[in-house]
């Protein structure tokens, strides 16, 4: 696998030498740059609405005095029952959405009639290369086409009218461990897209493709390659000094998996980069310390050439999975009496950053959640964090319970900014996480490559501890004043990973929740004014549009994503089912949803515990580091992936080997682990899951 990665890197490096390619002319009909930049009032043309990604709509027919009359006008059942994370786009009366597994659908935005549906047929095995479900966050519109980037790395241009593929290009080799979950953005005839994968042998980049032909125009790598070879740009010559040892053999991470923001004022594209890979710096900077540039950073490049302009690293030498890939919003703020053109950012690390948009100069960083314990604060001059020595687990050799954890104080769920209130509406998480170094760690072949040991982070089979852990994992909608650097108001939630937000000129903020509500709050004071029971958790951000003088509010619902499939599910099991739908509301809407199917009651009935203490300990470690990312913390699954404590294969060692070793369920997303684990190791995992099932049966926690 590692050889495969190197071959892939060489191939991409070749591609990036071809920097001289010129792009076709920008679109002059259909959706144009000017339309995206000016965000026509009734339409929603790009992921974050306009280039500035403010997610603020000037529509105010629905407002704080009448939102109580908002009702469902139409809904569409989706055929992919996994996390839905997309923001729908609306142009010329048609609503375009992407769903899980990168499908695209077009609906009549007024009536909900399906106009067309496109399925890129993503191989389900690809699930093993994504931490957080087979999600897609949205499409892009440009000229007469719709663009989708698929989980397995293809960029596809579809005809807006028919949904037929016009061209399709690979953005990374088919055997790479990278994936795409983000929405493309389009600027002056160039489709911009990066990739995910900073947990899986990958080297981050942002690339530009010709919107007409799909030809690659430039590729900007975010981390250096093999230091013995020439780097693809001066910015990498500088970065290579911040790494040491064999870092490049694992890829380095720094993937550009979500935010890409174009700023017409500076002609720069700002993007956020992921964590460095592996998480534990002792296993990447193998010969000393270093900041690992340009991971966990905001980077700015020239929109035409992809040339480096500036960078700001928010979490130097990251070891906590503190991506800076979160949405970047551009605004003009008045700071100390002076108007400043800034980028605003609320990354995973818990501090809200303001930077000068043109130069990247640090302005301020203030906490938008509490508590934060990995750093005592941010240096007001340099912008560097004052890191808590205990948080450097690879140095102390001791586990550290970090706040925030890897889920992040804020992740990809979009925030919005209202120029009317001056507030930023951030979906925040409070999810402490245990980080323990694994000094003996070696790179594997399949799944996560973190360099830490997650075994100690398993929630024990103890009712009180479990309840306390559940209670400690929360979320909140935070309205943050970016100039004052203070929280203005806050709505607490019982679970983390609630939906993205939409702010409107009707003094409203809309947000869905993990526990299955879609709510409207007053934007100035955070008063709840309206709510709708969605039957399923909401991750995606709402959007709004207007047709024939009527305002609509749309949101994708469908629980899944990181909290359901990952370690978090162990403490929030079965709270929210996945019922994937697109819901559209307007004033006076009278629609209702078909009743949700009753949740199946299951009783644990495992075979008796077997295996030696050594086998059980080994099984616990292997499960925690390789399987829990999909099957849940301590083998308690969420709603999407099977709960292994209930698997029929638990009492059938041969079937267990066929599934886990040989991969007989690979076409359903469960790959073969034979390159990574021996049959004995796979049997040890079974012993561990049998033990876990027996513990929970005794506890009465089925």
Q: Are 241 and 310 in contact (CB under 8 A)?
A: no
- Supply 208's token pair: 């530009």
Q: Are 363 and 340 in contact (CB under 8 A)?
A: yes
- Supply 102's token pair: 């990168």
Interacting residue with ligand HEC among 647, 687, 692, 696 (CB under 6 A):
647
Min dist CB 408 to ligand HEC, Å, is 20
Cα torsion through 557, 560, 564, 567, rounded to 10: -140
Distance CA(19)–CA(509), nearest Å, equals 43
669 is a contact residue toward ligand HEC (CB under 6 A):
yes
- Supply 24's token pair: 């076709």
Q: Are 635 and 693 in contact (CB under 8 A)?
A: yes
For residues 285 to 324, the per-residue mask of contacts with ligand HEC, x marking binding by CB under 6 A and - elsewhere, is ----------------------------------------
627 is a contact residue toward ligand HEC (CB under 6 A):
yes
Distance CA(187)–CA(199), nearest Å, equals 29
673 is a contact residue toward ligand HEC (CB under 6 A):
yes
Min dist CB 673 to ligand HEC, Å, is 5
Rg over alpha carbons for the chain, rounded to the nearest Å, is: 24
Min dist CB 361 to ligand HEC, Å, is 41
Q: Provide CB contacts within 8 A for 91, sequence distance 6+.
A: 31, 43, 44, 45, 141, 160
* Binding piece for ligand HEC, criterion CB under 6 A, among 70-78, 339-347, 408-416, 625-633: 625-633
State which residue, 272 or 638, has the beta carbon closest to ligand HEC. Answer: 638
Min dist CB 133 to ligand HEC, Å, is 9
685 is a contact residue toward ligand HEC (CB under 6 A):
yes
Min dist CB 282 to ligand HEC, Å, is 24
Min dist CB 439 to ligand HEC, Å, is 22
For residues 379 to 408, the per-residue mask of contacts with ligand HEC, x marking binding by CB under 6 A and - elsewhere, is ------------------------------
State which residue, 508 or 644, has the beta carbon closest to ligand HEC. Answer: 644
Min dist CB 117 to ligand HEC, Å, is 23
- Supply 594's token pair: 């078909």
State which residue, 121 or 528, has the beta carbon closest to ligand HEC. Answer: 121
Q: Is 118 exposed, middle or buried (0-12, 13-18, 19+ CB in 10 A)?
A: buried
Min dist CB 516 to ligand HEC, Å, is 23
For residues 426 to 465, the per-residue mask of contacts with ligand HEC, x marking binding by CB under 6 A and - elsewhere, is ---------------------x------------------
626 is a contact residue toward ligand HEC (CB under 6 A):
yes
State which residue, 257 or 656, has the beta carbon closest to ligand HEC. Answer: 656
For residues 51 to 80, the per-residue mask of contacts with ligand HEC, x marking binding by CB under 6 A and - elsewhere, is ------------------------------
* Binding piece for ligand HEC, criterion CB under 6 A, among 300-308, 335-343, 505-513, 659-667: 659-667
Distance CA(347)–CA(327), nearest Å, equals 8
* Binding piece for ligand HEC, criterion CB under 6 A, among 49-57, 152-160, 256-264, 645-653: 645-653
Residues 557-596 that bind ligand HEC (CB under 6 A): none
648 is a contact residue toward ligand HEC (CB under 6 A):
yes
**Peptide bond before residue 278 is cis, with ω within 30 degrees of 0:** yes
Q: How many CB atoms lie within 10 A of CB 177?
A: 25
631 is a contact residue toward ligand HEC (CB under 6 A):
yes
629 is a contact residue toward ligand HEC (CB under 6 A):
yes
CA geometry: angle at 51 spanning 46 and 53, to 5°?
Answer: 80
Min dist CB 113 to ligand HEC, Å, is 32
- Supply 664's token pair: 């007989």
Distance from CA of residue 223 to its chain's centroid?
20
Distance CA(243)–CA(227), nearest Å, equals 10
Interacting residue with ligand HEC among 372, 491, 660, 690 (CB under 6 A):
660
693 is a contact residue toward ligand HEC (CB under 6 A):
no
Q: Are 145 and 139 in contact (CB under 8 A)?
A: no
Distance CA(262)–CA(270), nearest Å, equals 6
State which residue, 82 or 348, has the beta carbon closest to ligand HEC. Answer: 82
* Binding piece for ligand HEC, criterion CB under 6 A, among 292-300, 484-492, 502-510, 647-655: 647-655
Distance CA(225)–CA(5), nearest Å, equals 12
Distance CA(149)–CA(164), nearest Å, equals 15
CA geometry: angle at 18 spanning 14 and 23, to 5°?
Answer: 140
Interacting residue with ligand HEC among 641, 645, 690, 691 (CB under 6 A):
641
Distance CA(206)–CA(306), nearest Å, equals 9
State which residue, 327 or 446, has the beta carbon closest to ligand HEC. Answer: 446
Number of residues that bind ligand HEC (CB under 6 A): 23
State which residue, 261 or 639, has the beta carbon closest to ligand HEC. Answer: 639
* Binding piece for ligand HEC, criterion CB under 6 A, among 322-330, 402-410, 516-524, 665-673: 665-673
Residue 373: name the closest of 394, 402, 399 by CA: 402
Interacting residue with ligand HEC among 550, 665, 697, 702 (CB under 6 A):
665
Q: Provide CB contacts within 8 A for 377, sequence distance 6+.
A: 385, 386
* Binding piece for ligand HEC, criterion CB under 6 A, among 165-173, 341-349, 376-384, 655-663: 655-663
664 is a contact residue toward ligand HEC (CB under 6 A):
no
Q: Are 539 and 83 in contact (CB under 8 A)?
A: yes
659 is a contact residue toward ligand HEC (CB under 6 A):
yes
Residue 554: name the closest of 591, 515, 596 by CA: 591
Min dist CB 660 to ligand HEC, Å, is 4
* Binding piece for ligand HEC, criterion CB under 6 A, among 20-28, 406-414, 416-424, 637-645: 637-645
Q: Provide CB contacts within 8 A for 498, sequence distance 6+.
A: 413, 427, 475, 477, 511, 512, 513, 514, 538, 539
410 is a contact residue toward ligand HEC (CB under 6 A):
no
679 is a contact residue toward ligand HEC (CB under 6 A):
no
Q: Provide CB contacts within 8 A for 43, sequence distance 6+.
A: 35, 90, 91, 92, 545
Q: How many CB atoms lie within 10 A of CB 175?
A: 10
Distance from CA of residue 182 to its chain's centroid?
8
Q: How far is CA 238 from CA 22, 51, 291, 292, 311, in A?
A: 27, 30, 12, 11, 12
Residues 98-137 that bind ligand HEC (CB under 6 A): 127-128
Min dist CB 682 to ligand HEC, Å, is 7
State which residue, 169 or 666, has the beta carbon closest to ligand HEC. Answer: 666
Question: Would you tell me which residues interact with ligand HEC (CB under 6 A)?
Answer: 127-128, 447, 626-627, 629-631, 641-642, 644, 647-649, 656, 659-660, 665, 668-670, 673, 685
């Amino acid at each position: 696998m590692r050889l495969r990665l190197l071959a892939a890197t060489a191939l991409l490096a070749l591609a990036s030498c071809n920097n001289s390619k010129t792009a076709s002319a920008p679109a002059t009909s259909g959706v144009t740059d000017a339309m995206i930049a000016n965000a026509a009032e009734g339409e929603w043309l790009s992921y974050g609405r306009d280039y500035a990604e403010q997610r603020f709509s000037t529509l105010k027919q629905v407002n704080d005095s009448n939102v109580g009359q908002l009702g469902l006008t139409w809904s569409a059942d989706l055929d992919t029952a996994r996390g839905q994370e997309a923001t729908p786009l609306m142009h010329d009366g048609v609503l375009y959405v992407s769903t899980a597994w990168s499908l695209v659908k077009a609906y009549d935005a007024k009536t909900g009639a399906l106009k067309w549906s496109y399925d890129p047929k993503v191989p389900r095995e690809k699930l093993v290369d994504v931490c957080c479900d087979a999600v897609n966050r949205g499409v892009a519109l440009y000229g007469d086409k719709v663009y989708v980037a698929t989980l397995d790395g293809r960029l596809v241009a579809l005809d807006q009218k028919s949904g037929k593929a016009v061209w399709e290009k690979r953005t990374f080799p088919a055997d790479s461990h990278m994936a795409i979950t983000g929405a493309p953005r389009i600027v002056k005839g160039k489709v911009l897209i990066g990739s995910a994968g900073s947990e899986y042998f990958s080297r981050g980049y942002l690339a530009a493709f010709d919107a007409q032909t799909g030809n690659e125009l430039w590729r900007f790598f975010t981390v250096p390659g093999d230091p013995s070879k020439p780097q693809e740009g001066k910015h990498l010559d500088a970065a290579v000094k911040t790494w040491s040892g064999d870092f490049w053999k694992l890829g380095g991470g720094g993937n550009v998996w979500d935010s890409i923001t174009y700023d017409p004022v500076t002609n720069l594209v700002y993007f956020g980069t992921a964590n460095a890979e592996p998480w534990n710096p002792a296993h990447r900077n193998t010969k000393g310390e270093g900041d690992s540039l340009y991971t966990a950073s905001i980077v700015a490049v020239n929109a035409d050439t992809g040339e480096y302009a500036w960078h700001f690293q928010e979490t130097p030498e990251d070891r906590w999975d503190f991506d800076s890939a979160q949405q970047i919003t551009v605004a003009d703020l008045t700071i100390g009496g002076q108007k400043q053109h800034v980028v605003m950012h609320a990354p995973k690390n818990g501090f809200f950053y303001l930077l000068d948009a043109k130069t990247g100069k640090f302005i301020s960083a203030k906490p938008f959640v509490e508590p934060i314990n990995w750093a005592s604060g941010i240096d007001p001059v340099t912008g560097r964090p004052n890191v808590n020595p205990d948080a450097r687990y690879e140095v102390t050799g001791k586990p550290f319970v970090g706040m925030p954890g890897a889920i992040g104080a804020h992740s990809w769920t979009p925030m919005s900014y209202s120029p009317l209130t001056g507030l930023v509406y951030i979906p925040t998480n409070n999810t402490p996480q245990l980080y323990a170094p694994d000094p003996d760690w070696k790179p594997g072949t399949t799944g996560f490559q973190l360099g830490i040991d997650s075994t100690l982070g398993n929630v024990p089979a103890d009712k009180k501890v479990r309840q306390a852990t559940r209670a400690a994992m929360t979320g909140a909608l935070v309205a943050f004043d970016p100039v004052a650097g203070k929280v203005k108001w806050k709505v607490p939630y019982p679970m983390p990973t609630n939906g993205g937000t939409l702010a409107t000129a009707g003094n409203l903020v809309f947000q869905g929740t993990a526990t299955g509500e879609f709510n409207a709050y007053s934007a100035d004071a955070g008063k709840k004014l309206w709510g709708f029971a969605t039957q399923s958790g909401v991750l995606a951000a709402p959007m709004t549009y207007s047709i024939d003088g009527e305002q609509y509010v749309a949101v994708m619902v469908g629980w899944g994503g990181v909290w359901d499939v990952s370690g978090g599910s162990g403490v929030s099991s079965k709270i929210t089912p996945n019922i994937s739908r697109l819901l559209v509301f307007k004033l006076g809407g009278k629609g209702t949803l078909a009743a949700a199917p009753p949740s199946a009651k299951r009783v644990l009935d495992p075979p008796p515990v077997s295996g030696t203490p050594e086998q059980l300990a080994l099984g616990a470690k292997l499960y925690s580091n390789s399987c829990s990312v999909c099957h849940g913390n301590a083998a308690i699954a969420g709603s999407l992936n099977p709960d292994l404590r209930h698997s029929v294969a638990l009492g059938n060692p041969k079937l267990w080997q066929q599934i886990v070793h040989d991969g007989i369920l690979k076409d359903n997303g469960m790959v073969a682990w034979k390159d990574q684990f021996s049959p004995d190791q796979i049997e040890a995992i079974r012993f561990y899951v049998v033990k876990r099932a027996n513990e929970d049966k005794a506890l009465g926690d089925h």
